[in-house]
Chain A
Amino acid sequence: MTMARINSIFFCVLALLSLSVFSNTLAPGFFSYPYPQARVSPVERFAAVDMGGILFGARRLAADIAWIELLQYYGSPEEPLDRETEFKVSWDMARYLMGISGEKEESHKPGAEEEHYHFDITGGEYSGLYTRCLRVARLDPFFSHVYLYGAGALAWNQNRPDEAIKLLEDGISSIEKYSPSISKDIHQPFWQYHLYLSAIIYSKSGKYNEMTALLETAVRQPECPNMVKAILANIYQKNGKPRDALRLWIEIYDSKDPTYLNRSLSKISELRALAGL
Chain B
Amino acid sequence: MNKIFSIAYYTFIESVRNKVFYVLVLFGVVIVFASLLLAALGGEQPQRILLDVGLNAIEFFALLTVGFSAVTLVLEEIESKTVYLILTRPVSRWTYLAGRYLGLLLAVYCGMLLMALMHVALLKLEGWQFAARYPLALLLSAGKITIIGSLSLFFSLFSTSAVSSISFTIFFWLLGHFGEEISFLSTKVPNIFLKIFLKAVYLLTPNLQLFNLRDFWEVPGIVGGWMFITAGYCLVYSALFLALSVWVLAYKEF
Contact = CB atoms under 8 A, between A and B. Distances in A.
Interface of A: 1, 5-6, 9-10, 12-13, 16-17, 19-21, 23-25, 27-28, 30-31, 33-34, 37-38, 54-61, 64, 67-68, 71-72, 96-97, 142-143, 145, 149, 178-181, 225-226, 255, 257-259
Q: How large is the interface on B (under 10, 10 to 19, 20 to 34, 35 or more residues)?
A: 35 or more
A55 B217 contact: no
Given A16-B236, A27-B207, A178-B219, A64 B177 contact: no
Nearest to A12: B243
A21 B202 CA distance: 9
B79 interface: no
Contacts of A30: 225-226, 229
A213 B239 CA distance: 61
A103 to B, nearest CB: 13
B117 interface: no
Contact of B42 (A24, A68, A142): A68
A154 to B, nearest CB: 17
Contacts of B30: none
B51 to A, nearest CB: 9
Contacts of B183: 28
User: Per DSSP, are chain A's interface residues mostly helix, strand or loop, or mixed?
Assistant: helix
Please name the 7 residue pairs, one residue from A and one from B, whose CB atoms are nearest each other, closest first.
Answer: A57-B177, A16-B240, A142-B218, A33-B180, A34-B219, A9-B247, A1-B250
Contact of A64 (B53, B181, B216): B53
A50 to B, nearest CB: 13
Nearest to B94: A9
Contact of B220 (A12, A179, A257): A179
B56 interface: yes
B158 interface: no
B14 interface: no
B252 to A, nearest CB: 9
B141 to A, nearest CB: 10
A68 B178 contact: no
A60 B236 contact: no
Interface stretch (B3-11, B33-41, B70-78, B101-109): B33-41
Contact of A20 (B40, B93, B221, B240): B240
A37 B184 contact: yes
B44 A255 contact: yes
Contacts of A179: 220
B21 interface: no
Contacts of B220: 179-181
B208 A57 contact: yes
A31 B210 CA distance: 7
Contact of A31 (B56, B93, B218, B226): B226
A258 B141 CA distance: 33
B90 interface: no
A226 B45 CA distance: 11
13 contacts: A9-B247, A12-B243, A16-B240, A24-B203, A27-B229, A31-B226, A33-B180, A57-B208, A57-B215, A67-B45, A97-B40, A179-B220, A181-B221
A156 B218 CA distance: 28
B243 A9 contact: yes
Contact of B52 (A23, A27, A55, A60): A60
A69 to B, nearest CB: 10
A68 B163 CA distance: 35
Interface string B180-197: 110110000000000000
Nearest to B178: A55
Contact of A16 (B42, B206, B239): B239
Nearest to B246: A9
A67 B177 contact: no
B233 interface: yes
B37 A97 contact: yes
B204 interface: yes
A261 to B, nearest CB: 11
A178 B95 CA distance: 46
A142 B44 contact: no
